[in-house]
Structure 1
Amino acid sequence: MSIISKFTVGSEEGISDLITIIDSSVYTMHKGLVPEEDLKTYIKNNIDPRKMINDLNDLSNQLIITYIDEKPAGYSILKSSSGHPALPEDKRATQISFVILPEFDSPEARESLWKKSRAAASFTDIIWMNIMNHDPLSTFLKESGFSVAADTTAGPFQLPSQILQFEIRRG
């Protein structure tokens, strides 16, 4: 099995791979919690390739896609200068999203995406994310050093979630 996590630009191919992962992950994360018709409507109305290209061409954003046997399996988007009220104000914060599709989820895939994401965020003080309570990656992230900063809600359907933070230690 070949696992590669690499920086991806807002090109047609990169956005196509990202949308493939997003569409699948939206269904997976909300299945049984949100009516399927609502999921289809959300994807149709909110997954906009042009907006994604514009977001990724913003120099403060970075996209990393993990490929397993050349298939898009997960992604991380880093947004610099993005804070949250639950985090210390005197620290530079970078928000990340961290997604691996269940059919590709493995310790090796998680490690590959996390190592690349962590390296990309080495300039910041705190990495943070808003992750749904039922997300299977939550345990991995906590084992990797993330701690809970706050309980909240996430996503388009405002499901229970936690703000997780990872403090960058410089030595």
Structure 2
Amino acid sequence: MEIISKFTIGSEKGISDLITIIDSSADNLYKTFVSEEDIKSYKNGIDPRKMINELNDLSNQLIMTYADQSPAGYSIIKSGSVYPGIADGKRATEISFVILPEFDSPELRLSLWKKCRSAINFTDEIWINMLSHDPLLAFLKELGFTSVAEAHAGPFRLPSQILKMETGKN
């Protein structure tokens, strides 16, 4: 399998690939907790123009990962965002980290992580609000993320954990 992780701009093609992953991911992550009707309503409410505007904000970056040219995962990096409990004077960067189950493999996870990590070497802390039942949670902890708080995330406010990683920058 050919795996490619690359920075993607908020273009129609980039957003189309991102929405493909979001739609499939929503089905996988929410089906046990939320009705099909609510998931469908959420997916129908995704506004591509709003996403393009958000991704074309200079403080945000999108990394897409492809497996044999099919959209397989993504990470959105948001510079300057904070979470409760961050120390004063620390620079924090929020990430999302999503890989579709049908493409999930150690190689794909590492490809997306390495590209993501290369983009955030300027920050003091990386943080993510990850659903507690997300299978990628264990992978992030293996990388060195630690749980700092329980929270709720996603469009349905399901139980989640806020994870952080110190980057070693001061």
Q: Taking structure 1 as the reference length, what is the TM-score of the superposition?
A: 0.97
Q: Deviations over 1:69-112 (max 9, x none)?
A: 00000000000000011322321000000000000000000000
Distance change >3 Å, CA 81–CA 57, structure 1 → 2 = same
Gaps spanning 5+ residues in structure 1: where?
none
Structure 2 residue matching 1:41: 3-state secondary structure: helix
Alignment of 1:1-171 (within 5 A): 1-45=1-45, 47-170=46-169
Q: CA deviation at 1:59?
A: 0.2
Q: State the distance in 1 between where 2:126 and 2:147 align.
A: 12
* Larger CA deviation: 81-90 vs 155-164: 81-90
Does the CA contact (< 8 Å) of 2:63 and 2:116 recur in 1? Answer: yes
3-state SS, counterpart of residue 71 of structure 2:
strand
User: Structure 2 regions of 5+ residues with no counterpart?
Assistant: none
Letter aligned with residue 109 of structure 2: R
Write the distance in 2 (CA, Å) between the matches of 1:91 and 1:170: 9
Q: Do the aligned residues in 1 keep the contact of 2:123 with 2:169 (CA within 8 Å)? A: no
User: Residues of 1 paired with 2:26 and 2:107: CA distance?
Assistant: 23
Could you tell me how far apart the structure 1 residues matched to 2:169 and 2:155 are? Answer: 36
Whole-angstrom distance in 1 between the partners of 2:55 and 2:81: 15
CA RMSD of aligned residues (A): 1.0
SS state at 1:78 partner? strand
- The 3-state SS of whatever aligns with 1:142 is helix
Runs of 4 or more consecutive aligned structure 1 residues displaced over 4 Å after TM superposition: none
Aligned counterparts of 2:112 and 2:157: Cα–Cα separation in 1: 26
The AA in structure 2 aligned to 1:90 is G
Structure 2 CA distance for aligned equivalents of residues 69 and 89 of structure 1? 44
Percent identity, please. 66
Deviation at 1:170, TM superposition (A): 4.2
TM-score, length-scaled by structure 2:
0.98
